[in-house]
A and B are shown apart, each in its own frame.
Chain A
Amino acid sequence: MTNAAATADAPVRPAHYGSMSRDRRWAMRWSYFFLVLFAIFFLMPPFYMLLTSLKTSGEISAATNPWWVFDPTLENYIALLTKNEFLIFFRNSALVSVCVVSLTMVISVLAAFSLARMKFWGSATLATGVFLTYLVPDTLLFIPLFKMFAWFRDLTGIELINHWWTMIILYPTLSVPFATWIMIGYFASIPKELDEAALIDGASWFQTLTKIFIPVAMPGIIAAMIFSFTVSWAQFLYPLAFTTSSNELLLPVGIVTTLIKGDVFNWGQIMTGALLGAAPPLIIYAFLMDYYVAGLTAGATKG
């Protein structure tokens, strides 16, 4: 059929029918509708935290509109930031998180590199094993860990319970498997020829890791770092179970145990503490979000 005939026979369509831009416009409207809905849903609690942190105790317990601050005050912030305890919790948490992130990254990058690249006997099984350990919930782990610590004390005389630094040993049980898994995925997406080229260029395995793999896998490494930071910053169960003295507490547990006295809830300071505690991960996410997404999706498609 010739072109001319084709145009002549074609039915005349209304210009908007099935048009791409029209479909897209509706898709966008729906997307925005649900995005706004979810944003409201998820931002409500932090917003409520912010409002409450700006109220006096009197206003919190008064029967006024809870969604408005009639008499804003910074007294909760001042009280918390001048209280020595809170600063100790913050310091403990920060130290633990920095150490856990460093430890996790050293272990998981080395583990992932060897599991992904040095084909040794059982490496595939080990890689699966690493992931399986991640599936064990921490609620199941802390009782055997107690037992192990008691046994360790009997053996060496070193007490691990009720020290904030014990968390540096504990948290990697949660962060290392997942970080290793992310890194295995990321390293696997680096073409094989790259390490072969490095090998021919004269690089040792360790040089291939430090000079080629780590720089190339930086997005993945940053993603794994953010993940392990989040795990160690927000971890609640382990510090609750393993620490009791007030100067050994970490931030999440510290806020809850020191600001709730029996059945008296100091809501203003609890909310302030929670808000301040949530700030560091929030800031880190805001700056490194792109890396985080790139790192998590790297294994999925070969880029």
Chain B
Amino acid sequence: MAQVTLRKVIKKYDEVQAVRGVDLDIADKEFIVLVGPSGCGKSTTLRMIAGLEEITGGDIAIGGNIVNDVPPKDRDIAMVFQNYALYPHMNVYENMSFGLKLKKTPKDEIDKRVRLAAGILDITELLDRKPKALSGGQRQRVAMGRAIVRDPKVFLFDEPLSNLDAKLRVQMRTEIKKVHQKVRTTTVYVTHDQVEAMTLADRVVVMNAGLIEQVGTPNDLYHTPATKFVAGFIGSPAMNFIPCQLEQAAGALRIRVNDKLSFPVPAERTARYTPHVGKPKLVLGLRPEHIIETRPHVEPNQHDFDMNIEVVEPMGMETLVYFTVNGVEICGRVNPNAGAAAARTMKLRADLSNMHLIDDTTGKVL
């Protein structure tokens, strides 16, 4: 049993506040991913859980015990570093068994655990090699092996895949997920890559400027972001943000983008949006996949409009089209056979049932 609890955790470096009060409850055996742009405090948070950074304020508890002043070795955690941090003068076996040896674990017990972990990670034949003789992916496995062998309460991963090439990264991502399914241990994983975050996590924690923006399952974050930051951070290509106004005419709400372009608000959202009519800085958030080519069959809340396409990017499976509205570049994803061409007018369709209305003064999704 190892829940991890963070209560109002603060980290200050001299004048700079890197982490500004983080509250987080991580359940036993849960896979949590901390994600955010660089400098958002995610790595600092992880290092505070590990005990590598002292906390300036708040409490951190592992398995119900407050560990604020407990040194890393007594926290029963294992960490995988971005640059693997394998001991270069030891072979794989020695690297994996180093922690157990320091704890004076009996030799046959060490051997059993190392071979078990090596089996899980498929590195048994590498056990007597030095790190120098391993490829990036193999080193990554050894680093994970070193963590698994110790059978800790919590696994901590600090951007473990950033040093790998794109193909290997995808492969190791699956590997990490498989390992977590075999060795069910509470895991905290830090990355700046939202795809990694979405694919690995039970729950994703989006951080920005030292604070948690939102905690939720990958699907929650994608479909119901709480803030403009989360909406823009999760998803690729990013969500379009179009400055707009909310007007009420003859009992119905309309989102007015400009003189020529406006859409009726979906009926089920009228009650939710009515209090915000006439607010000054509103933004319509619409993901690229909800701006598509026009089709004969019309679903509810879908509206067609004509637009002059500026740039076309064929991706094979789909084609990205770019155009400008109110000075903002907007991206849409259309069928490759829809005949999109640059500098030509195209009939597009906006799917407003998936829209978000954002108050740009507070950054909150309404």
CA separation between A201 and B50, bound complex, in Å? 11
Of A106-114, A188-196, A279-287, which binds chain B? A188-196
CA separation between A199 and B51, bound complex, in Å? 10
Asked if B73 contacts A193 (CB within 8 A), the reply is: no
Can you list 6 A-B contacts with CB-CB less than 8 angstroms, sorted by A residue number?
A: A191-B83, A193-B82, A196-B81, A197-B85, A201-B99, A215-B89
Question: Would A201 and B85 be within 8 Å (CB), given that A196-B52, A196-B79 are in contact?
Answer: no
Residue from B50, B51, B87 within 8 A of A194 (CB atoms): B87
Question: Would A197 and B79 be within 8 Å (CB), given that A202-B102, A203-B102 are in contact?
Answer: yes
Distance between B110 CB and nearest chain A CB, rounded to angstroms: 13
Chain B residues in 8 Å Cβ range of A196: 50, 52, 72, 79, 81, 85
Chain B residues in 8 Å Cβ range of A216: 87-89
CA separation between A199 and B102, bound complex, in Å? 11
**Would you list which residues of chain B between 260 and 319 have a CB under 8 Å from chain A?**
none
Asked if B81 contacts A201 (CB within 8 A), the reply is: no
Asked whether any CB of chain A lies closer than 8 Å to the CB of B77, the reply is: yes
CA separation between A202 and B72, bound complex, in Å? 8
Chain A residues in 8 Å Cβ range of B82: 193
The digit string for A201-219, where 1 denotes a CB below 8 A from any CB of B, is: 1110001000110011010
Asked if A200 contacts B102 (CB within 8 A), the reply is: no
Asked whether any CB of chain A lies closer than 8 Å to the CB of B182, the reply is: no
Residue from B73, B89, B146 within 8 A of A203 (CB atoms): B73
CA separation between A216 and B132, bound complex, in Å? 13
CA separation between A145 and B71, bound complex, in Å? 45
Smallest CB-CB A-B distances: 9 pairs: A201-B99, A193-B85, A202-B73, A197-B85, A215-B89, A193-B81, A202-B102, A200-B72, A199-B72
Asked if A201 contacts B89 (CB within 8 A), the reply is: no
The digit string for A161-193, where 1 denotes a CB below 8 A from any CB of B, is: 000000000000000000000000000000101
CA separation between A211 and B88, bound complex, in Å? 11
Chain A residues in 8 Å Cβ range of B103: 202
Interface residues in chain B, defined as those with a beta carbon under 8 Å from any beta carbon in chain A: 50-52, 71-73, 77-79, 81-83, 85-89, 98-99, 102-103, 146, 150
CA separation between A197 and B88, bound complex, in Å? 12
**Would you list which residues of chain A between 201 and 248 have a CB under 8 Å from chain B?**
201-203, 207, 211-212, 215-216, 218
Distance between A99 CB and nearest chain B CB, rounded to angstroms: 28
**Would you list which residues of chain A between 20 and 62 have a CB under 8 Å from chain B?**
none
Asked if A200 contacts B87 (CB within 8 A), the reply is: no
Residue of A nearest to B158 (CB): A193
Asked if A194 contacts B73 (CB within 8 A), the reply is: no
Asked if B81 contacts A197 (CB within 8 A), the reply is: yes
Residue of B nearest to A211 (CB): B98
Asked if B73 contacts A200 (CB within 8 A), the reply is: yes
Question: Would A200 and B77 be within 8 Å (CB), given that A191-B83, A207-B102 are in contact?
Answer: yes
Residue of B nearest to A203 (CB): B102
Asked if B52 contacts A199 (CB within 8 A), the reply is: yes
The digit string for A111-144, where 1 denotes a CB below 8 A from any CB of B, is: 0000000000000000000000000000000000
Asked if A193 contacts B83 (CB within 8 A), the reply is: yes
Asked if A200 contacts B83 (CB within 8 A), the reply is: no
Distance between A189 CB and nearest chain B CB, rounded to angstroms: 12
Among A196, A215, A218, max chain B CB count under 10 A is at A196
Chain A residues in 8 Å Cβ range of B88: 216
Asked if B102 contacts A201 (CB within 8 A), the reply is: yes
Among A193, A211, A212, A216, max chain B CB count under 10 A is at A193
Distance between B189 CB and nearest chain A CB, rounded to angstroms: 16
Residue of A nearest to B87 (CB): A212
Among A199, A200, A203, max chain B CB count under 10 A is at A200
- Identify 18 new A-B residue pairs, CB closer than 8 A, beyond the known A193-B82, A207-B102, A211-B98: A191-B83, A193-B81, A196-B50, A196-B72, A197-B79, A197-B85, A199-B72, A199-B73, A200-B73, A200-B78, A201-B98, A201-B99, A201-B150, A202-B73, A203-B102, A216-B87, A216-B88, A218-B89
Chain B residues in 8 Å Cβ range of A212: 87
CA separation between A252 and B83, bound complex, in Å? 50
Asked if B99 contacts A202 (CB within 8 A), the reply is: yes
Chain B residues in 8 Å Cβ range of A191: 83, 85
Chain B residues in 8 Å Cβ range of A193: 81-83, 85
Distance between A196 CB and nearest chain B CB, rounded to angstroms: 5
Chain A residues in 8 Å Cβ range of B77: 200
Chain A residues in 8 Å Cβ range of B150: 201
Residue of A nearest to B88 (CB): A216
CA separation between A201 and B100, bound complex, in Å? 8
